[in-house]
Structure 1
Amino acid sequence: MQVEIKIDPSQPEPKVVITAASMTEEVNRIVRRLSDEIPQAISGTRDGKLEVLEPEDLIRIYAASGKVFAVTGKGEYTLRLRLYELEERLSPHQFVRISNSEIIHLKKVVNFDLSFAGTIYVKLSNGTVTYVSRRYVSKIKKVLGI
């Protein structure tokens, strides 16, 4: 994707023009983000209380038993959003999906171990160990530049 900014003092307010060969998922995602259709707040419940979660506090988000959970340094929260909705709200530069049921915060990764056959072992800042599924290995390698 190319980004071009033109400063024009005669323009009363910012204007965004998207030029693309066709309507792709990436274009749709950009339009949704720019139009503010999706609220950016992420809230979770813990001990019967609803709290607003800051993206920088998230360590991992995962689905289990039909529910979605977010893990932070303060503990584990139950979310009402689905993983794909969270993926749209979170920065793709900081968060990456590692399986059909898990998203991790790249800044909270202690290390990746590539020695396992077919999968990647991930150790997170809270001591949690998880694995990149085979389906997402190439995506993770691309994100990591390997």
Structure 2
Amino acid sequence: MKWSLFINKEKEEEILIYAHEENDLVKDIISLVALQDKTINGIYNDEIQLITPSLVSCFISENNKVYALINDKKYLIKKRLYQIEEMMDESFLKINQSCLVNRKKIVKFQASIGGSLMVILDNGYKDYVARRELKNIKQRMGL
């Protein structure tokens, strides 16, 4: 596969994809481009910052507040988790009632003896997959 990059501040930004078929790479590129337009306001240290969803490891709900976890930072988000879920594309997975993870930030799944499944993210965050979400997660991850 070959690619080209042209930097021209005079022209409007545009991405063209020529492919023989729509494969996983093409879907990932489309997903990444679509998420770039969807920034979210996050509050960290009393400063409002624009957050690009592709950088977020997960969105979590704690004590009736929603946070975006990026590396070791926790940004307060002024939206409900279901609103964020509606904004995101298929790169984010709902694993339980209080957590929405970025599938590109998943390091591994860890099964326990009791049959539960734990998700471990690149920033070290761990959370369990709810039983009602297990089938959906397995289908979307190809497990």
Equivalent residue, structure 2, for 1:111: 108
Provide the TM-score with structure 1 as the length reference.
Answer: 0.68
CA 1:99–1:61: 2 relative to 1, 3 Å = same
Question: Which position in structure 2 is the counterpart of 1:120?
Answer: 117
Could you tell me which of 61, 69, 78 is aligned with 2:76?
78
Q: Give me the identity figure in percent.
A: 30
Structure 1: segments with no counterpart, 5+ residues = 1-38
How many pairs does the alignment contain? 107
Amino acid at match of 2:119: V
Rg larger for: 1
1:130 paired with 2:127, answer yes
Aligned to 2:44: 46
- State the Cα RMSD in Å: 1.5
Which residue in 1 is equivalent to 2:60?
62
Q: Pick closer, same or farther for the CA change 1:54–1:116 going to 2, 3 Å.
A: farther
Output the TM-score relative to the length of structure 2.
0.70
Contact (CA 8 Å) 1:118, 1:134: kept in 2 or not? no
What is the SS of the residue equivalent to 1:91?
A: coil
Moved over 4 A (4+): none
Quote the offset at 1:115 in angstroms. 3.8
